[in-house]
Amino acid sequence: MRVRLLDVAHARSGDKGDTANVGLIALKPEWYDMLAKYVTRDRVAAHFTGVITGAVERYELPNLKALNFLLHGALDGGGTLSLKTDAQGKVFSTALLRMVVDIPDEEAAALGLPRAMDLA
C-alpha cells in the first residue's frame, strides 16, 4: 500500500549553515517503527535528488518517536550567503512530507495506516 508521510507524520525543519535539518515525527507512537524501517537515508536522498548537493545523514530518536535528517548542501551556502527564496530551509519539512512510501498491505493494515489516494 502507498502511504504519504503527510498522513502518518509531521515535520519541522531549519538551517545550520549550508545544511537543512529536518525532523520527522510519527503522528502515532505505533507508527514510529514503520517510519524507521521505510524512511531510510537512501530513500530521503533519492527524494531530494537535484535539490541538495551533499550527503544525507539520519539519526533515530526512538524516545521521541522521531527521525532527524541532515541534508548537506541544501541551502546554497547558508542563510546569510544564499540567494534562495528559502535560505533557512523551512520548506524542507513540507517537501519531505510529500514523500510516499510503499508498505506491504498486511503490515499497513495491522498498523491502521491511511491509504494514499489518487497517486500515480
pLDDT in tens, 29-71: 999 999 999 999 999 999 999 989 999 999 999 999 999 999 9
Residue 105: per-residue pLDDT: 93
Cα–Cα dist 11/13, whole Å: 7
- Residue 106 scores a pLDDT above 60: yes
DSSP state of 86: T
Residue 73: per-residue pLDDT: 87
Cα–Cα dist 25/9, whole Å: 5
Residue 76: per-residue pLDDT: 67
Cell triple for 82: 544564499
List of domains in the chain: 2-74+92-109 (3.30.70)
Bridge partners of 59? 68
Mean pLDDT of 69-83: 69
